[in-house]
Structure 1
Amino acid sequence: MTAPRRTVAHAGFTLVRDYPASVAQVWAAFADEDQKRTWFGTDDAWAAGEWRFDFRVGGVDVAEGEFHGGPLSRYEARYTDIVENERIVVTYDMWLDGDHISTSVVSFEFEPVAIGTRFTHTEHGVHLDGLDDGAGRREGTVGVLDRLAAFLAR
């Protein structure tokens, strides 16, 4: 039997959103565990599993669960830089049913603008063995930022 072909694909993207909320409010959505869990760690179609939150440089967050009864998804992030109300930098890994599918470096930038906050998400990913790709990751991130927008609008 032949071993599966191992591949590496690189992809990056930047998403910019203007939220009608102060920088302090958008920041708190990331820095406060209860707030983050409300918009990031839950969804009607998401069966939550393990959850950890440790918002500090060197801290690790984990969000695990099944989406629409599908494969077990695991997100594990380590904070590498935090400048209050300005930026957060993380590295994170994703797994599906125990298979490591990607490693990414992400920066979140918070900038005051006339309507509230300009939020910039910039991601550079390494996608492994054809199990994930940049287009899918971008699409998933758009959904996460849509949930953040809905949370901030309530």
Structure 2
Amino acid sequence: MTIERRLARAEFTLTRDYPVSRQRIWDAFADEQQKLAWWGVDDAIEPGEWAFDFRVGGHDIAEGRFHNGPVSRYEATYTDIVEHVRIVTTYDMWLDGVHMSTSVASVEFDPIDDGTRFTHTEHGVFFDQFWADGPNREEGTRGLLRTLSNYLA
């Protein structure tokens, strides 16, 4: 089987206003137990390997198997952390051991009158058979933000 070698790029920005303090939403990212409570929590996934090292240069891993389906693996490196202001990561995704993408993602925490404005911006490069996966990544991130919202409520 020959794999067609190609690249595609995708970028998106998602903004949500959460009725909680910056400290509250920050802790949902910076505290391992809190992140475990919402990150990738989904009835469709059986959790696998997990690693959490929240510091510049630290690495996170989140792996899980979709029921009767493929294994998804996320590996991130924190490249910039400014407490209560922003987190920047580079991360790679694999599906059943095949490298599907590399992304740079930033999340920003801005105070507003009723809580915190959260902005997620991502720039991704998708490889070979996953070249058209950008819209799925955005939808997956929307799902993560819904899960975060439920957790913060």
What SS does the aligned partner of 1:130 have? helix
Do the aligned partners of 1:64 and 1:72 also contact (CA within 8 Å) in 2?
yes
Question: Which amino acid letter does the alignment assign opposite residue 101 of structure 1?
Answer: M
Partner of 2:142: 142
Partner of 1:12: 11
Do the aligned partners of 2:59 and 2:75 also contact (CA within 8 Å) in 1?
yes
CA distance in 2, matches of 1:23, 1:111: 7
Partner of 2:64: 65
Deviation at 1:148, TM superposition (A): 0.3
Deviation at 1:43, TM superposition (A): 2.1
User: What RMSD in Å do the two structures reach over aligned CA positions?
Assistant: 1.0
Deviation at 1:39, TM superposition (A): 0.3
Question: Which amino acid letter does the alignment assign opposite residue 11 of structure 2?
Answer: G
Moved over 6 A (4+): none
Deviation at 1:70, TM superposition (A): 1.4
Deviation at 1:50, TM superposition (A): 0.2
Structure 1 residue runs without a partner (length 5+)? none
CA distance in 2, matches of 1:87, 1:68: 34
Do the aligned partners of 1:81 and 1:89 also contact (CA within 8 Å) in 2?
yes
What SS does the aligned partner of 1:70 have? coil
5 Å matches for 1:50-61?
50-61=49-60
Q: 1:43-67, CA deviations, whole angstroms, 9 ceiling, x for partnerless residues?
A: 2221000000000000000000112
CA distance in 1, matches of 2:70, 2:152: 29
Deviation at 1:131, TM superposition (A): 1.7
Q: 1:82-106, CA deviations, whole angstroms, 9 ceiling, x for partnerless residues?
A: 0000000000000000000000000
Do the aligned partners of 1:47 and 1:69 also contact (CA within 8 Å) in 2?
no
Do the aligned partners of 2:41 and 2:147 also contact (CA within 8 Å) in 1?
no
Structure 2 residue runs without a partner (length 5+)? none
The normalised TM-score by structure 2 is 0.96
Do the aligned partners of 2:92 and 2:103 also contact (CA within 8 Å) in 1?
yes
CA distance in 2, matches of 1:51, 1:120: 25
